[in-house]
Structure 1
Amino acid sequence: MLRYFAYFIHRLVQVIPIALLIILANFFLLKMAPGDITDVMAGEMGAATPELMAMLRQQFGTDQSVPLQLMHYYGKLLSFDLGFSFRNGMSVAVLIAERLPATVLLASASLLLACVTGVGLGWLSANTRRPWIKNGISILTTVGFATPLFWIGLMLIVLFSIHLQWLPTGGVEDIDSEYEGIARLLDIARHMIMPVLSLSFFYLAIYARITRTAIKDVERLDFVRTAHAKGLSNVRVSVVHVLRNALLPIVTVTGMQIGSILSGSVVIETVFAWPGLGRLAFDAVSQRDLNLLLGILFCSSLVVMLTNIATDLIYAALDPRIELK
């Protein structure tokens, strides 16, 4: 346990310079984009006189040089201040804290569904002797790879919300409802069905393909033949011995998919009006809210880096041969 803790602290120290570089890259990339919040607000006011533009730029600090703005932003981060969203009239940290639970709920549920279903389908495809099952799973995974997330979401809305009227079109819960306790949880679950299915479909295909390949590779190893020679049942060998060792690449893929699933949630949250960080980032881009967008990108980068550390720790726990350095 001590070596795991020491490795975690060591990797955590390495995260700091990487995070600073990510902030630097994000800052200059966003500054290269044309327009800023003053252009958006002046356009909405219907008056873009030079005096008004100068006043807004002074108010928002965009009249300063880019290096000076960057130094001021780094200074705020040292005091754990992500800045202020002038567009929303709130602290960036407060906005992220309000939207983060919805994104975590959507992403974790989608990843869990994709992992469990994908691993199950991959195991079934690797062990079944029925061609129609293998072909069916292969077709399903091919469709999952080729179909855009937003198209799946729109088709689910057309089918289950418009034609069948079984599920709500969007949101995380009914705004005008007064549900509490179990009733509220069930209402949230109803709103989650279509977004979770849409976001998990692509990753389900990845898990199914990787699991099938990993199982086929492990089945060729000597210890599997030894387990069969001892008289163990095929199901026991497949589940206890083969599948456990085949989980190693799946853990790696899971760590790698965290960043991808966060970016995919931007599309899904927009389609289903899901009040998460993805929707907030989309609004920040359209409104040129630099502080808010930097805060979201920074927090997302931290989540990805911490997930990579956790993936290494889980990997070492599953396989004692791996040394943490």
Structure 2
Amino acid sequence: MKFASFLVSRLAKVVLVVLGVVIINFILIHLAPGDPASIMAGESGASDPGYVNELRQKFGLDQPIYRQLLIYLQGVAQLDLGYSYRSRLPVLDLILDRLPATLLLMGCAFVFSIVLGVLLGVLAAQSRYTQRRKWLDSAIMSAALVLYATPLFWLSLLAIILFSVMLGWLPAFGMESVGAGLSGMAHVLDVVRHLVLPTVSLGCFFMAIYARLTRASMLEVMGMDFVKTARAKGVPAGQIIRKHVLRNALLPVVTFAGIQLGQMAGGAVLTETVFGWPGIGRLMFDALLQRDYQVLLGVFLVTSVMVVVFNLITDLFYRCIDPRIELGS
């Protein structure tokens, strides 16, 4: 019953948060300078006022903002995110076509960052605590600081120059080789090769955060009384790290990871733009340049839903790490 009440309350909060995000984004986007009808008319070579007014009426841009908002909310309730001005396709179809590529990139970058970040954090904390190989702790923390301070787009460009242009090891752009006609395992390996650089570039920033956070949490737990008691009883050091220290130290890491998943969706915009990755981040960037309001709103809506779902999964994952946590409280 506690779990059911927790789930119902969280789902209600999810609906309210998404509704607030939709309303705020709608108002901000429509208050931004630029008229989609004028842009479309200018690109078609017929920029006379009559044609512009016709386009505005066709796409409902002549209606007051509150009226456009009500129409949009009714459409969202029916899973209708509108119609793209430029692509002349339903927005939901455009997003669903690009969403798998973004989820693939985010999933790989998240696994890469959390696994390697936690591993490096454990090594640094263990070296610091045992006073052995202190140089390893200094090296890991210094590298993490450099990666944290390096802008994402700059790191992506450096990766392209080094691994694609100079060494020629990995492809720089796209999700697959155009015109190669690959299938089966050959196609999978081709996608993996294109995925390496975007994954590493997007994951390095978050890996640095997880490494530093894991190290700090583990050092804090290592100084607690129950760890000293376990050591006094002769429990092996490896068992203390796995069962006592790491399990307790992972709670703040999991909390931060749930928040960072939402930020990773924002970082995917830069990564997909630099590497030409065909995801919703690249779709949002193109829609922003073209003043395609409906696509922008659709991407913002999907991204906000992803963020709240990730946070809900994080709360559920707490119970797996520490059963003492009561979700219904």
CA distance in 1, matches of 2:90, 2:46: 27
Aligned AA for 1:204?
A: M
Partner of 1:270: 273
Partner of 2:235: 232
What's the TM-score once normalised by structure 1's chain length? Answer: 0.97
Q: How does 1:34-45 map to 2 (within 5 A)?
A: 34-45=33-44
Structure 2 residue 254 is matched with structure 1 residue 251: yes
Report the alpha carbon displacement of residue 230 of structure 1 after superposing the two structures with TM: 2.1
Partner of 2:308: 305
1:171 equivalent among 170, 174, 198: 174
CA distance in 1, matches of 2:35, 2:4: 44
Partner of 1:188: 191
User: For structure 1, which runs of at least 5 residues remain unmatched after alignment?
Assistant: none
CA distance in 1, matches of 2:2, 2:108: 31
Partner deviation per Cα, 1:136-173 (whole Å, 9 max, x = no partner):
11111111111011111111111111111111111111
Partner deviation per Cα, 1:10-37 (whole Å, 9 max, x = no partner):
2112211221111110001101110132
For the 8 Å contact 1:106–1:195, the answer to whether it is kept is: yes
CA distance in 2, matches of 1:174, 1:5: 47
Partner deviation per Cα, 1:174-210 (whole Å, 9 max, x = no partner):
1211211111111000001110110011001000000
CA distance in 2, matches of 1:178, 1:46: 38
Q: How does 1:115-194 map to 2 (within 5 A)?
A: 115-128=114-127, 129-194=132-197
CA distance in 2, matches of 1:194, 1:19: 32
Secondary structure of 1:38's counterpart equals helix
Partner of 1:316: 319
Aligned AA for 2:149?
A: A
Aligned AA for 1:229?
A: A
Partner deviation per Cα, 1:273-295 (whole Å, 9 max, x = no partner):
00001000001111111111101
CA distance in 2, matches of 1:104, 1:91: 20
For the 8 Å contact 1:4–1:313, the answer to whether it is kept is: no
User: For structure 2, which runs of at least 5 residues remain unmatched after alignment?
Assistant: none
Aligned AA for 2:187?
A: R
Aligned AA for 2:183?
A: E
Structure 2 residue 206 is matched with structure 1 residue 200: no
**Range with greater deviation from structure 2 (259-268 or 153-162):** 153-162
Partner deviation per Cα, 1:44-76 (whole Å, 9 max, x = no partner):
123321101101101111011100000100111
For the 8 Å contact 1:36–1:288, the answer to whether it is kept is: yes
Q: How does 1:63-142 map to 2 (within 5 A)?
A: 63-128=62-127, 129-142=132-145
CA distance in 1, matches of 2:227, 2:160: 46
What's the TM-score once normalised by structure 2's chain length? Answer: 0.96
Report the alpha carbon displacement of residue 5 of structure 1 after superposing the two structures with TM: 3.9
Report sequence identity in percent: 45
For the 8 Å contact 1:36–1:289, the answer to whether it is kept is: no
Partner of 1:11: 10
Report the alpha carbon displacement of residue 229 of structure 1 after superposing the two structures with TM: 2.0
Q: CA RMSD in A?
A: 1.2
